[in-house]
Every structure is written in C-alpha cells, then in structure tokens.
Chain A
Amino acid sequence: MISFRLDGRSVVPPYLQIVQQVRQALRMGVLDVGDKLPTVREVVAATAVNPNTVLKAYRDLERDGLVEPRAGHGTFVVGRPSGPPPGTHSRLARSLAQWVRGAREAGLDDESIESLLRITLQAAADEEETA
C-alpha cells in the first residue's frame, strides 16, 4: 500500500499529484500488478482532500489502463506505464546520487548542476539527431 503527499502550494493540481505519485511508484517498483491502491476514504482521511479529487485521479489511471476498480474490493493495479522495467529507475537514481555527491564535492551548487544537466541533455539530443 502507498500513501499520497499532497502539496497545497504546488502548481500541479491535487488530482494530478495523485496520478503522478502512482505512476512514480509503478516505475520505482513500489507498486506492482495486483497491488491495491488505498480506498478513496483512506486517502481523504489522511489528506483532507476532496473525495472527487481522488475519484478523478483513479479514473485517469483507469483510462490509461494502469488500474481497475473491482466492485466492493477497491482499486487494483493491472498494468505498468510504458518504459524500462521496475528497478531501472532506482538503479539509475543511485548512480545519479553518487554523481551529485561528486559534483558537490567539486564545489558545484544546485543551479550549476541543473544547467550542466540541461546542457548534457541537449548535447545528447543533438547527437541522436545527427546519428
């Protein structure tokens, strides 16, 4: 079972925060096919969010083929978002964390790290285009 964190100051609307957190949990392998999502009532009791917000998020996930409501039992995971198999993200996250530590030790601040990442992504995109 997972729990949701809803940030009231985020520009991302609450229903989309729920959708994104379920997708993220699926990518990280925290959730897998067959797992149950918290009931609307449980989410509402934990976060004080409107029940319709949770329903809307679950409908979105259902439309994308990721979850399925089963009458009287709750909402279950039936699919995974397209992309690499679970575990890939956490493996890459670990090596990235190591890289970030190295960058900090070398004296880079967050802004420099972000711009370095953007430049690298752009260069990789250019490379793919010419290849």
Chain B
Amino acid sequence: MMASSNPAVIQTCGLSKRYRKVTALSEATLTVPQGRISALIGPNGAGKTTLLRLLAGLARPTGGEVAVLGGAPRQDPAFLAEIGFVAQEIPLYRRLSAEDHIGVGAHLNPRWDAASVRQRLKGLNIPLDQTVGTLSGGQRAQVALSLTLAKRPRLLLLDEPVAALDPLARRQFLAHLAEAVAGGGLTVVLSSHLLADLERVCDHLILLAASRVQLCGDIDTVLAEHQVLVGPRKDTTAIEKAHTLVQATHTARQSTLLIRVGGPVVDPAWEAADVGLEELVLGYMGQHAGPAFSHLTSVGEDQ
C-alpha cells in the first residue's frame, strides 16, 4: 500500500543546528505535504532563516535528519534545479537588467522558461531593459520571483519576501505566488511577520519560537485544535489535567486561557471560543517571550 497520495516534500526529524555556542534550531520535527503554501512564523531570532538555509542545502545540520523532495539537501546541480530560494536581501545584480538576468539564468538552469518571465514582467509593466537597481522594491521582488519560477522548481523557499513592500505590491507578489501554486506541482515555504497576508495565502503553518517548532500542520486543523477559555479567576490545575495550557493571562478577577484541546471542556465556569490565527500565534510567541513581554499581556483593570 502507498502511504499517502500526497507525499511530503519536506520531512525533518530532530533537526538541529548549532553555531559554536548558539543553538539556532533545536530538535525540529516537521512535515510539509506537496502543494501547500506554508507560513513560517516566529519572532526574530527564532530560527526561521536557519531552517530555510538547512532546507536549501546552504547550511549543514549538526543533528537530526532532513529530507527535501525525498533526499538530503545538498549543493549539487540535480538538487538545486528542483529548489528555488529567495533570500531576505533580494539576490539580484543591481547593474544588470531583467533581460540580462534571464540570459544568465538560461546558462545556469537546465529547464529554463525564459518566455514565462518576459510575459509575467510585461503583464506587470516592469521594463525588461532597465537596470534592476533603478526599479522599485516591489518590482525587484517580482523580478526575483519570476526568475526563480522560471527554473520550474518543485519547492520554493522565500525568506521574508514581502517585508519591504507596500500593500499593493505585496498583494500582487502573493497573487503571483498563489497562481504559480495553482498551476500544480509546486510547494512553498514563506517566512513573514505579516499575519493578515499569510492567513489569506497560506494553508499550512510552521510556528517557531525559542529555536523550537511549536506548531506544524494545516492551518484549519491547527486552529480547530485550540480554544480560548474565559472565566472568573481560578486555579487552572483541572484544566491542565485534560488539556495543554499554552498561555494563561490573569487579572485580579478574570482568567483567559489559550489551550490545546484534549477533550470537551466540561466546567461551565469557562466560556469557550474559537481562536483566530493571530491570537494563536501571539499566544505561542508570548509563552516564550519571558517576563519582559508577558507582563504586558496580563495587565488588568484591578492591578
């Protein structure tokens, strides 16, 4: 029997990366199925860029296992032909035009779709003959994405590609990305802090905090597994027996609990509500932020 009709494009088990004394990524176990657009979310320094570099074969793990498209990531032409990686500082030659880049790409890539880049950039009114350095940030990001997609990769890794773009350029970039995925055969991992954008375009989530994977799965499933309970301030021991307490915030009279649901909530003192993506992400981030941050979430009217 085949295990699944939707094989994992990324599969890691206990993946770790240490730089001298600093642990950048610790025991990361995660799966990204084919065809997903996965949101890689976490505070600065949580290990997002390290994870992307490990997946792209740009860094070597110091522990654990990683399989990308069925094999270990490595710097060889066969593997790199399947992967598109756009780093945070958009990797283009500022003095070359888009057309020059198309020429370079044709030399370096076996399946190079130059026509798709020209068609896409013309559709966005981005001049092909102007040096890339004179284009706007949004236009440069579109050029980089078009060039990366021209490789016809099976996995696209994007490190904060829209952080510096205005809302319209962001929407156009993400629409371009989603359209490429709709064409079939492409899986994307996209790191960003812009939750509203991610919620629209992504259907899968990897949440990193304190160099560990806190959550990984389809967004609908992950949201359905969590609830917020609001009730009069009381001891949470009973709740913690049946559920996993992610975050508790208290005022003198009221408690608000974010839980990973382990069964029905039976105590009628608690009012249960569904969780949105933003609330969930902030809950997990706050849990690991330490006292300097956590006091901000628990300021109450009576304190």
Contact = CB atoms under 8 A, between A and B. Distances in A.
Interface of A: 6, 8, 14, 40-41, 44-54
B200 A40 contact: no
A49 to B, nearest CB: 6
Contact-residue bracket for chain B = 20 to 34
B182 A48 contact: no
10 contacts: A41-B182, A45-B175, A45-B178, A48-B197, A48-B201, A50-B178, A50-B181, A51-B178, A51-B181, A51-B182
A50 B171 contact: no
Contact of A44 (B179, B199, B202): B179
B201 A52 contact: no
Contacts of A53: 203
Contact of A50 (B172, B176, B196, B201): B201
A33 to B, nearest CB: 26
A48 B174 contact: yes
Given A8-B196, A44-B181, A46-B175, 18 more contacts: A8-B199, A8-B200, A41-B182, A44-B175, A45-B176, A45-B178, A47-B175, A48-B174, A49-B200, A50-B37, A50-B178, A50-B200, A50-B201, A50-B202, A51-B178, A51-B182, A52-B203, A53-B203
B239 to A, nearest CB: 26
Interface string B163-202: 0000000011011111101110000000000001101111
Nearest to A15: B220
A72 B99 CA distance: 34
A6 B200 CA distance: 9
